[in-house]
């Protein structure tokens, strides 16, 4: 069956999944779930409401308290989560198709997300479940003091649309491995794969009511989850503006802790000692145009030494010119539409602002106004630090070029936004690479030479976003610790 035939056969069923079964939302308001490749309606979805969230949290609390998951031997949780990863691989085409239809991701990229990113992450967290080891303090006399990790309880998770399957795994992976129950609220643009994952979790052996999903709007379902008095931890991935609202709601309700993975405006700093500009140009394109620039860590600022600016820019522009947008269900497509009409309008607005502010569009991408949310790559040269396109997250295929002469200037430009998520530095001088890695305010910094790199290291080292990009660490063992609470237990006596 072709992808188009499979798409026509999808039976959309977006409604709350609570206690192991679908149940209709009690909300009456509905909205259209749009395919951004065509701007046609895939299905109608309920806006959801606080009553749906109440019911999901009630069930998640009951299941947490009865210990059906939290009291399982951690090794058993590992086995079940590994089985879920296997099921995800078995259902990769189905999950990838849902993501592609709802948010326009090219089908090959969606398959990669499921097969490579999401399942690898889940297997890794599964393997950490029995490694949440506490410590004991030096003891004297009859005393024994221990630190132990315990699950927090009911976790609320709110996710964005850019990597629907991966974003879901990012939340339920560590939350479930650490023994919590969870209520997930996926983006209203892309809920289907999260719901399917909850079904697959049940099949893998996660007990009913441990993994619940309430789809709907941010202002209804998301806000109700962030405000809920019986949620013990709220983990959020999305924009900085929404993240701040979530903090406020969490503080006003029960003061639950929050973890925020927010926006970015990551720089790619290129010094003039690199000797393979073609390789660098390929890497710039990859880290900028991945997912059409709709990636929190997209490197959308090219901060380049003025000696090599012209030659590097020429290579980047000629490559970008060749990147044509296309039907996401065509396996040859590498650049799909943006995720929604709103996202297209946002990016269009930033392109207009860039032109008005005096930046030079060395590549001006076409914008399709209807029948598909397609925007081709745009590159702005002569971008200055004060321009909004240099400071604000555009979340689309727009690259801003800034030049420097001295190392200090490169550092100042790299740090010249409110964000602090990621950065890449290109130099053959490892001393300089180290200095920049330490001076740049970002959760993770890559230092690269010029084409001699081997494959990247494992992705399970933890990091924390900085500045307006959020806080809290979700990856690796630190991730599991974030989803746990640390208790000190003291024994006194002979």
Question: H-helix or E-strand containing 57?
Answer: helix 50-65
Question: Between 100 and 237, whose beta carbon lies closer to ligand NAD?
Answer: 237
Which member of 19, 113, 393, 464 binds ligand NAD (CB under 6 A)?
393
| Integer CA distances (angstroms), 189 to 56, 262, 401, in order | 21, 18, 31
Pair 410, 269: CB distance under 8 Å: yes
Question: Between 78 and 424, whose beta carbon lies closer to ligand NAD?
Answer: 424
What is the SS3 string spanning 205-262?
A: CCCCCCEEECCCCHHHHHHHHHHCCCCCEEEEECCHHHHHHHHHHHHHCCCCCEEEEC
Stretch of residues binding ligand NAD (CB under 6 A), selected from 222-230, 300-308, 315-323, 382-390: 222-230
Question: Between 262 and 375, whose beta carbon lies closer to ligand NAD?
Answer: 262
Q: How far apart are CA 462 and CA 428, in angstroms?
A: 26
Question: Between 181 and 291, whose beta carbon lies closer to ligand NAD?
Answer: 291
161 near ligand NAD, judged by CB under 6 A: yes
263 near ligand NAD, judged by CB under 6 A: yes
Size of the site for ligand NAD (CB under 6 A): 29
Residues 6 or more apart whose CB falls under 8 angstroms from that of 72 comprise 179
Which member of 18, 37, 59, 158 binds ligand NAD (CB under 6 A)?
158
328 near ligand NAD, judged by CB under 6 A: no
219 near ligand NAD, judged by CB under 6 A: yes
Pair 339, 294: CB distance under 8 Å: yes
The catalytic position among 296, 373, 393, 464 is 296
> What is the smallest separation between the CB atom of 187 and ligand NAD, expressed in angstroms?
4
Stretch of residues binding ligand NAD (CB under 6 A), selected from 10-18, 82-90, 219-227, 251-259: 219-227
Question: Between 19 and 261, whose beta carbon lies closer to ligand NAD?
Answer: 261
Q: Strand 444-448 and strand 422-426: pairing?
A: parallel
Stretch of residues binding ligand NAD (CB under 6 A), selected from 51-59, 158-166, 175-183, 350-358: 158-166
Pair 115, 92: CB distance under 8 Å: yes
Q: Is 209 left (phi over 0), alpha (psi -120 to 50) or beta?
A: left
> What is the smallest separation between the CB atom of 158 and ligand NAD, expressed in angstroms?
5
> What is the smallest separation between the CB atom of 430 and ligand NAD, expressed in angstroms?
28
Residues 6 or more apart whose CB falls under 8 angstroms from that of 428 comprise 271, 273, 274, 275, 449, 450
Residue numbers 284-323 binding ligand NAD by CB under 6 A: 296
Stretch of residues binding ligand NAD (CB under 6 A), selected from 25-33, 92-100, 160-168, 310-318: 160-168
Pair 401, 379: CB distance under 8 Å: yes
Q: How far apart are CA 174 and CA 475, in angstroms?
A: 8
> What is the smallest separation between the CB atom of 189 and ligand NAD, expressed in angstroms?
7
> What is the smallest separation between the CB atom of 420 and ligand NAD, expressed in angstroms?
11
What is the SS3 string spanning 395-439?
A: CCCEEEEEEECCHHHHHHHHCCCCEECEEEEECCCHHHHHHHHHH
> What is the smallest separation between the CB atom of 406 and ligand NAD, expressed in angstroms?
30
Helices (H) and strands (E) in the chain, counts: 17, 22
Diameter of the chain by CA atoms? Answer: 78
Question: Between 296 and 387, whose beta carbon lies closer to ligand NAD?
Answer: 296
264 near ligand NAD, judged by CB under 6 A: yes
Stretch of residues binding ligand NAD (CB under 6 A), selected from 97-105, 236-244, 432-440, 486-494: 236-244
The catalytic position among 55, 188, 261, 393 is 261
Residue numbers 451-470 binding ligand NAD by CB under 6 A: 465, 470
HSE-CB of 131 using CA atoms within 13 angstroms: 12
Here's the x/- map for ligand NAD, 199-218, by CB under 6 A: it reads as -------------------x
Q: What is the dihedral of CA 274, 276, 280, 283, to 10 degrees?
A: -140
Q: Strand 233-237 and strand 470-471: pairing?
A: unpaired
Q: How far apart are CA 115 and CA 477, in angstroms?
A: 22
> What is the smallest separation between the CB atom of 215 and ligand NAD, expressed in angstroms?
9
> What is the smallest separation between the CB atom of 395 and ligand NAD, expressed in angstroms?
5
Q: Is 43 a catalytic residue?
A: no
Residue numbers 23-42 binding ligand NAD by CB under 6 A: none
Which member of 46, 119, 242, 333 binds ligand NAD (CB under 6 A)?
242
> What is the smallest separation between the CB atom of 113 and ligand NAD, expressed in angstroms?
12
Terminal CA-CA length for the chain: 72
Q: Is 203 a catalytic residue?
A: no
| Integer CA distances (angstroms), 203 to 111, 169, 179, 311, in order | 21, 16, 18, 55
- The DSSP secondary-structure symbol of 114 reads I
> What is the smallest separation between the CB atom of 99 and ligand NAD, expressed in angstroms?
14
Rounded to 10 deg, the angle between the 164-177 and 74-90 helix axes is 160
Question: Between 185 and 448, whose beta carbon lies closer to ligand NAD?
Answer: 185
Which active-site residues does the annotation give?
261, 296
Binding site for ligand NAD (CB under 6 A): 158-162, 185, 187-188, 218-219, 222-223, 226, 237-239, 242, 245-246, 261-264, 296, 393, 395, 421, 465, 470
């Amino acid at each position: 069956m072709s992808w188009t035939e499979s798409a026509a056969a999808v039976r959309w069923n977006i409604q709350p999944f609570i206690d192991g079964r679908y149940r209709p939302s009690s909300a009456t308001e509905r909205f259209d779930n749009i395919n951004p490749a065509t701007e046609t309606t895939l299905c109608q979805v309920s806006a959801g409401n606080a009553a749906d969230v109440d019911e999901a949290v009630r069930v998640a609390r009951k299941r947490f308290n009865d210990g059906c998951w939290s009291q399982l031997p951690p090794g058993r949780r590992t086995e079940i989560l590994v089985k879920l990863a296997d099921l995800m691989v078995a259902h990769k085409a189905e999950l990838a198709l849902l993501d592609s239809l709802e948010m326009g991701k090219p089908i090959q990229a969606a398959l990669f997300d499921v097969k490579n990113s999401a399942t690898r992450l889940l297997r890794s967290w599964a393997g950490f479940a029995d490694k949440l080891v506490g410590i004991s303090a030096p003891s004297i006399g009859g005393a024994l003091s221990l630190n132990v990790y315990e699950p927090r309880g009911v976790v609320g998770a709110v996710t964005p649309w850019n990597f629907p399957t991966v974003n879901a795994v990012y939340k339920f992976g560590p939350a479930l491995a650490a023994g919590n129950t969870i209520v997930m609220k996926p983006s209203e643009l892309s809920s289907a794969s999260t719901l399917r994952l909850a079904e697959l979790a049940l099949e893998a052996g996660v007990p009913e009511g441990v993994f619940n999903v309430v789809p709907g709007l941010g202002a209804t379902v998301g806000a109700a989850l962030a405000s809920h008095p019986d949620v013990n931890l709220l983990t959020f991935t999305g924009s900085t503006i929404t993240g701040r609202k979530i903090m406020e709601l969490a503080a006003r309700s029960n003061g639950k802790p929050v973890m925020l993975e927010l926006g970015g405006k990551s720089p790619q700093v290129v010094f003039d000692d690199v000797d393979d500009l073609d390789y660098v140009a390929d890497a710039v394109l990859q880290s900028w145009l991945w997912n059409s620039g709709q990636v929190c860590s997209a490197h959308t600022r090219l901060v380049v030494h003025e000696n090599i600016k012209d030659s590097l820019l020429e290579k980047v522009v000629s490559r970008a010119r060749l990147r044509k947008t296309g039907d996401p269900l065509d396996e040859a497509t590498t650049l799909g539409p943006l995720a929604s009409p709103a996202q297209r309008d946002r990016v269009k607005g930033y392109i207009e602002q860039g032109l008005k502010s005096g930046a030079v569009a060395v590549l001006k991408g076409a914008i399709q106004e209807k029948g598909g949310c397609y925007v081709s790559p745009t590159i702005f040269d002569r971008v200055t630090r004060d321009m909004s396109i240099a400071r604000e997250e555009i979340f689309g295929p727009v690259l801003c070029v800034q030049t420097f002469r001295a190392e200090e200037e490169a550092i100042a430009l790299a740090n010249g936004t409110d964000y602090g998520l990621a950065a890449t530095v290109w130099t053959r001088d490892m001393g300089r690479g180290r200095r920049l890695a330490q001076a740049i305010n970002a959760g993770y910094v890559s230092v690269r030479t010029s084409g001699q790199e081997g494959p990247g290291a494992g992705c399970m080292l933890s990091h924390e976003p900085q500045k307006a990009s959020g806080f809290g660490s979700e990856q690796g063992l630190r991730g599991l610790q974030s989803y746990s609470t640390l208790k000190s237990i003291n024994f006194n006596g002979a």
